[in-house]
């Protein structure tokens, strides 16, 4: 399935319950997702490498020693005639490279959240969420600008006190940075700038040491990729493959950044599982040894009308049936309630639930009906009387019917 130009269906697979996942398992799961989602992030890495190749081709050498020389006669530093133009070009292209790398980071974050939530990766979603991260970064920068300016001002006026403030500000800044480490992940998960700050602060509560350990490991991994990128570039400087080496180095560094984002995505989901147990209903233990995959283990918001089991055995009949197209469950059916308007007699009328007999209970006779006519052989009932008028007929003198007349027998005819 393809939506928005990207393949959909690549998801994170956790090797353990997310709430109790360790650093080694987290790195393994992040690397597994890196392999599974290469169709999403590899084009971005290739684009970063191509831009790097073009930039180095336009600027030429980035060695600062090529921009100036020392006059042997005067011993002064002399810039080359084209140094100013080259420096401006280098600055502009550096900004372009930073923008391209930032957009690549947006794609990495969006890919990680898409893998956690099993959502499609769309261009509009990447751009919108990326711009929100820029806005949140500006808010954080404005919040830090005041204290930083105050420390610098104190350092200029009272240097000893300024040094003490700088020393004290280092752990405070590290603490705040750890508490806001999930800001980008939360924003790409759908939070706004302020809500993202709150969510990152919430997810990092009582877990500063854990986040610090994961961050150090992710930093070591990034450092390893950086060393590998430098090893690729160094031998190529003396050859004609310097441009290709720079592009390959940029690709290696971008891949390391992508893996680091995926590691932080695993940590982000782990913290969510710890603080929101309903997201992952399975409790790790002997009954659920794992692995739990593929994720995500997310459920729609409640409330859920049914209480947790076990449920007692028995039949659960349908209420208010019968339903069209649904077979009525077999009986027995409970007795129908008495009808107060008939003196406590059983209710007579449509009785749902009895297929083939929808009008009355089988075999039931209304006790309030008039009595049947008694058997009077050869005597018809009187006119205007009877059960229809509420009367019971009985013979008497006034309405006794006369006896039939007897006629004489005719004499036989003479012959």
Q: What is the DSSP string of 112-165?
A: HHHHHHT----HHHHHHHHHHHHHHHHHHHHHHHHHHHHHHHHHHHSHHHHHHH
Q: Please indicate whether residue 409 or residue 343 has the higher confidence score (pLDDT).
A: 409
pLDDT at 66: 67
- What percentage of residues in the chain have a pLDDT greater than 70? 62
CB 273 within 8 A of CB 36: no
- In degrees and rounded to multiples of 5, residue 76 shows phi and psi of -95, 160
Start-to-end CA distance of the chain, whole Å, equals 118
Q: What is the pLDDT of residue 72?
A: 76
Beta bridge partners of 7: 2
Q: How is residue 382 annotated by DSSP?
A: P
Average pLDDT, the chain: 74
In order, the DSSP letters of 210-268 are HHHHHHHHHHHHHHHHHHHHHHHHGGGGGSTTHHHHHHHHHHHHHHHHHHHHHHHHHHH
Count CB atoms within 10 A of the CB of residue 34: 18
From 367, 317, 315, select the one nearest 338 (Cα to Cα).
367
- Which string of b and e fits 333-369 if b means at least 16 CB within 10 Å? eeeeeeeeeeeeebbbeebebbeeeeebeeeeeeeee
Residue 367 has pLDDT above 80, yes or no: no
> In the block, which residue shows the tokens 């280092």?
170
Mean pLDDT of 161-182: 92
* Distance from the Cα of residue 185 to its chain's centroid: 14
- Tens digits of residue pLDDT in 61-85: 666 666 676 777 777 777 777 777 7
Among the ranges 204-208, 237-241, 352-356, 373-377, which has the highest mean pLDDT value?
A: 204-208
CA dihedral (308, 314, 320, 325) positive or negative: positive
């Amino acid at each position: 399935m393809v939506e928005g130009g990207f393949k959909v269906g690549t998801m994170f697979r956790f090797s353990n319950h997310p709430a109790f996942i360790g650093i080694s398992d987290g790195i393994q799961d992040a690397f597994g997702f890196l392999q599974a989602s290469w169709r999403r992030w590899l084009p971005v890495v290739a684009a970063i490498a191509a831009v790097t190749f073009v930039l180095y081709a336009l600027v030429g050498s980035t060695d600062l020693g090529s921009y100036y020389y020392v006059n042997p006669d005067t011993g002064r530093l002399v810039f080359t005639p084209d140094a100013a133009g080259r420096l401006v070009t280098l600055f502009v292209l550096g900004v372009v490279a930073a923008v391209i790398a930032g957009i690549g980071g947006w794609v990495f974050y969006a890919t990680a959240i898409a893998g956690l939530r099993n959502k499609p990766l769309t261009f509009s979603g990447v751009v919108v969420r990326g711009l929100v991260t820029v806005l949140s970064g500006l808010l954080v920068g404005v919040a830090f600008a005041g204290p930083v300016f105050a420390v610098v001002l104190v350092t200029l006026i009272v240097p000893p006190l300024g040094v003490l403030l700088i020393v004290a500000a280092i752990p405070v800044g590290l603490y705040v940075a750890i508490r806001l480490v999930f800001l980008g992940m939360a924003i790409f998960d759908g939070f706004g700038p302020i809500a993202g700050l709150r969510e990152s602060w919430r997810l990092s509560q009582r877990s500063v040491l854990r986040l610090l350990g994961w961050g150090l490991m992710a930093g070591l991994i990034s450092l390893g990729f950086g060393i590998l990128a430098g090893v690729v570039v160094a031998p190529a400087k003396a050859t004609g493959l310097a441009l290709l080496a720079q592009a390959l180095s940029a690709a290696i560094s971008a891949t390391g950044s992508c893996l680091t984002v995926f590691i932080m995505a695993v940590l982000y989901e782990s913290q969510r599982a710890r603080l929101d147990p309903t997201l992952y209903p399975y409790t790790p233990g002997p009954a659920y040894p794992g692995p739990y995959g593929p994720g995500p283990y997310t459920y729609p918001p409640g409330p859920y009308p049914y209480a947790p089991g076990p449920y007692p055995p028995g039949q659960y009949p349908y209420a208010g049936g019968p339903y069209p197209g649904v077979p009525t469950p077999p009986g027995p059916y409970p007795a129908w309630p008495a009808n107060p308007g008939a003196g406590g007699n059983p209710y007579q009328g449509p009785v749902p639930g009895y297929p083939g007999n929808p009008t009355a209970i089988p075999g039931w006779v209304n006790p309030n009906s008039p009595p049947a006519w008694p058997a009077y052989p050869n005597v018809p009932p009187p006119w205007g009387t009877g059960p229809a008028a509420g009367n019971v007929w009985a013979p008497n003198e006034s309405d006794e019917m006369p006896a039939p007349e007897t006629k004489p027998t005719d004499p036989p005819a003479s012959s």
